[in-house]
Amino acid sequence: MSIVFIISAPSGSGKSTLVGRLMASVPGLTFSVSYTTRAPRGLEREGENYHYVSREEFERRIEAGEFLEYVHALGNYYGTHRSALERAEAEGLDLVLDIEVMGAAEVKKKLPDAVSIFVLAPSREILEARLRSRGEDADEVIERRLARAAMEIEQYESYDYVLINDDLEETAQNLIGIVRAERVKRFRMASRIQPILDTFRTGSRTRR
Ligand code: 5GP
């Protein structure tokens, strides 16, 4: 069974960098490339950051029941395709979802064992400064992102873990630590423990 890691953070919290560090450092993970109707930004590439589709195509896919979850946010649709999880399961990989709070709640409802992590910028001022220095969004979009951040931050209580990203290196290490610790949770180890127990039981019999 793949472990699903949900990572949410208001944009500008350093989430993309953290997710990049996680994917590069921990083997056995695969990133879910979402579908969106927003236009590519900066150096983003089709199939790498998102699958960029028209509103019509997105709505057709909703009708066809293709999404594990989707949301209409910041004037666009964003959604996680069911095939992302199916593929991860087939390949024996754990799945990383970079999705906002409403989608996260939906995934938790459908997959209660999913692990959710909320990343927080140290303050509104720092978040705003990061969004402006990125130089990717118009003022009006930055205002919308900040308003949405205020709403999202209120939802932190429904997450399993909270990371305050004041030091990128330390936060990345904590994120990596969460993934490693979750993989050795007792209930996920059952199928590996049983054969070990069996070898001990066999051993005690042969000695008798
Ligand atoms: P951005 O436009 O900055 O790439 O993303 C805006 C927000 O949409 C981010 O909080 C991001 O995590 C979220 N997002 C990206 N893909 C999905 C998705 O498939 N589902 C949901 N619910 N949110 C997503």
Site residues for ligand 1, CB cut-off 6 Å: 11, 34, 38, 69, 71, 73-74, 78-80, 98-100, 102-103
* Sign of the alpha-carbon dihedral angle for 192, 195, 198, 199: negative
Topology annotation, domain 4-32+93-207: Rossmann fold (3.40.50)
Ligand 1, atom 18: closest residue by C-alpha: 79
- In this predicted structure, what is the pLDDT of residue 137? 82
Computed over every residue of the chain, the mean pLDDT equals 94
Q: What is the pLDDT of residue 206?
A: 61
User: Distance between CA 74 and CA 151 in Å, rounded?
Assistant: 12
Distance in angstroms (rounded) separating the CA atoms of residues 148 and 160 = 21
- pLDDT tens digits along 78-116: 999 999 999 999 999 999 999 999 999 999 999 999 999
Please answer whether residues 196 and 49 qualify as being in contact, where contact means their C-beta atoms are separated by less than 8 angstroms.
no
pLDDT in tens, 26-43: 999 999 999 999 999 888
Give me the pLDDT at residue 30, please.
98
- Give the pLDDT score at 40: 95
How much distance in Å is there from the Cα of 150 to the middle of ligand 1? 16
Residue 205: predicted pLDDT: 64
Q: Given ligand 1 and candidates 19, 98, 144, which is best to mutate, with the most ligand atoms within 8 Å of its CB?
A: 98
Nearest CA to ligand 1 atom 5: 11
Taking only the tens place, the pLDDT of each residue in 50-65 is 999 999 999 999 999 9
CA distance 68 to 128: 31
Distance between CA 77 and CA 94 in Å, rounded? 25
Q: What is the pLDDT of residues 159-207, one digit of tens each?
A: 999 999 999 999 999 999 999 999 999 999 998 999 999 999 886 666 5
**Distance from C-alpha of 197 to C-alpha of 205, rounded to nearest angstrom:** 13
Give the ranges where the chain is alpha helix by DSSP (H). 15-25, 55-63, 82-91, 101-110, 124-134, 139-153, 168-183, 186-207
Per-residue pLDDT tens for 132-156? 988 878 899 899 989 999 999 999 9
pLDDT digits 0-9 by tens, 10-29: 888 888 899 999 999 999 99
Determine the Cα–Cα distance for residues 168 and 53; give it in Å rounded to an integer. 32
| pLDDT attached to residue 120 | 92
